[in-house]
Amino acid sequence: MAGNRFYTILVVPEKTSRVRKLIIPNWIVKGGALGLALVILLTGVMIFDYWYVMSQISENRQLKLENRRLRQQVQIFQNKMATVESTMERVKTFATRLKVIMHVENQVPQLQSKLPEANVPITQETVQIAPPETKDPEKIELHKEYTALEKRIEDLNQEAFKTEELLQDEYEILYDKKSFLSALPTRQPAPGYFTSGFGVRNSPYGDRIKMHEGLDIANRMGTIIRAPADGEVTFAASKAGYGLTVILNHGYGIETWYGHLRKFIVNKGDQVKRGMKIALLGNSGRSTGPHVHYEVRVHGYPVDPRSYIFEDSSP
């Protein structure tokens, strides 16, 4: 049975009885249906494409916002890291200066190994980077910078811990040295003129050569003599040739002697501090004029007192 060649459409008006008849060929109906299907398909494709583009725009906008926040966080971290690293450099410099001033490196060589190493450049090999779940190059780069900053923070924490250990060791050494430094007779015991130094000289009582084992400081009678360092009075009496004499034991094998005194202000067994009054300058014993004969002895051997004097005793 052959298919229909035409389609008839009857149009019946509402108010009239005249019926209109439209005869449409088959190919026009089929072509119209196909065209309508294509229009619907194209419309659907356009709607989907529009939705996809809008969703991409929204996703890109969100991604840019996230990248901007991440960039700001990275910048904040970088500024903080620069400040902390600068502070750590100053701390390490201070610790090194302490070592040099106090000669700590000669007593505790292992402290050198505790000094933090210089900052090592962060490379792809030193940082384990977890790849972010995105193909955005900017976000990947930001993620790498952020991960590198985390590694720098971890390294800085280790560096701070090592520096803290170093300073703690130096503090303990300096604390031990404090008593030693307090025992060094660095103060000039009395103001005045150096009339005779340490060494070989002609005896004032003849032409023979004699070793002068101290330093003579001349001044008027009654000039106050002060302790040049912390110590204990081990002798306060008259001594042959020295006249009235005071001897201080400062520990560490260091003693100081004061001869030709006029009067004692301390007694044997007294503990004295640097700068305390111990006696008055005089002219007792075998002396040619008012002065104090000042000696420094290390393990019983006289040494030049001027090699220890760093502080003037003048008011």
Using the structure block, give the residue that is written with the tokens 């008011």: 315
Q: Which amino acid is at 218?
A: A
Spatial distance between the Cα atoms of 112 and 27, rounded to a whole number of angstroms: 99
Lowest-confidence region among 53-62, 105-114, 173-182, 250-259:
105-114
Spatial distance between the Cα atoms of 245 and 179, rounded to a whole number of angstroms: 25
Region 278-298 average pLDDT: 93
* The pLDDT of residue 295 is above 90: yes
Cα atoms found within 13 Å of the Cα of residue 296, Cβ hemisphere only: 25
Give me the CATH topology for the region 193-307.
Glucose Permease (Domain IIA) (2.70.70)
Q: Measuring CA to CA, how many Å separate 38 from each of 24, 25, 123, 197?
A: 21, 20, 57, 120
Classify the phi-psi angles of 191: left when phi > 0, otherwise alpha if psi is within -120 to 50, otherwise beta.
beta
Name the β-bridge partners of 93.
Answer: none
* The pLDDT of residue 119 is above 50: no
Residue 185, helix vs strand vs coil: coil
Q: In this predicted model, which residue has the larger pLDDT, 272 or 176?
A: 272
- Residue 246 φ/ψ, nearest 5 degrees: -120, 135
206 token code pair = 């003849």
User: Tell me: the pLDDT tens digits for 58-115?
Assistant: 777 777 787 777 777 777 777 877 777 777 777 777 777 666 655 555 444 444 444 4
Spatial distance between the Cα atoms of 85 and 38, rounded to a whole number of angstroms: 68
Q: Measuring CA to CA, how many Å separate 311 from each of 149, 178, 199, 227, 248?
A: 51, 17, 22, 12, 18
Spatial distance between the Cα atoms of 224 and 120, rounded to a whole number of angstroms: 61
User: Which pLDDT score, from 0 to 100, does residue 279 have?
Assistant: 96
User: Tell me: the pLDDT tens digits for 182-228?
Assistant: 888 989 999 999 988 888 877 666 667 788 889 999 999 999 999 99
**Residue 21 carries which DSSP code?**
E
Q: What is the domain partition of the chain in residue ranges?
A: 6-72, 75-183, 193-307
Q: Which ranges in 205-299 belong to alpha helices (H)?
A: none
Q: In this predicted model, which residue has the larger pLDDT, 135 or 158?
A: 158
Q: Are residues 305 and 254 in contact, defined by beta-carbon separation less than 8 angstroms?
A: no
Chain centroid to Cα 106, Å, comes to: 22
